[in-house]
Structure 1
């Protein structure tokens, strides 16, 4: 069974975190969840969902203050980690190696072990500090994934936009969910 670490920070985007967790659950992936303090507030604000309900979607829930958790070590085998959403504060902490909490520490482990680290960065507009942090982490091997909606598939609801983004996130871990609607071209003969 594949294992994925899911970090959730307080940036806007909690509905996407929920959808990613739902899809991982349906795919029988072992989920190790880390939720920041501010993510709990955002989750309630954006989804009307409790922290307890979110935790029920994971196999293992780690306290973000527990630096001794399994996911804080490179010897713990996982496919990788997604931080969804990823605040600019968390992005900066990871870039600087400031592993003050378990989300930043687990991300640091992904970088040092050369495992997939996908950061669903949430901020707009971006300033030069944000862009430099993203470029630095991308050069280190992290995947920077702003949750930009696609319109070529003509979404009719926010739910369809969330599905598409969640599928694209899972693609980075070589996981294909049945909800995927793949680009099939424009139908022109070449």
Structure 2
């Protein structure tokens, strides 16, 4: 199996409450953050999908909507909706607000998906990154069970499913743009 035979899904269905505005629509040079991420990930993956509660974009992205019967914001609901869309395959999941991920980090994680793991995610010295890694679609029902028990954090899966944490030293590669100051700093460093 090769990386370019797999699919990528970019998550952008959150509230962006800490940012104060929709992160996916933040401008980076002449494009939005979601356009930036889709363009970048399209270099390495077969298809790139966008996960969201509703199609809020002017561009034509292939959208995977959260299951509509539930009207809450939940990473577990998003993961359930995504994994239900695919059949018997690994999918790379990335949050829209992680713009520094490169092919090097993805390939290092990809090296573990042929083993017996169902989840392969990045881990830096300070944090496990549940929204940056590979998930097997067979986990959809497990996600649904957690969701129905009101266990909404993806980290709950790690104790129930064979998970590989791939260690990285470079925290900057896993930068999350949670606050406006972080976004401004990222834009300055892109120049």
* TM-score range normalised by the length of the shorter chain: 0.3 to 0.5
Structure (1/2) with the larger strand percentage? 2
By relative contact order (CA 8 Å, sep 6+), the higher-ranking structure is 2
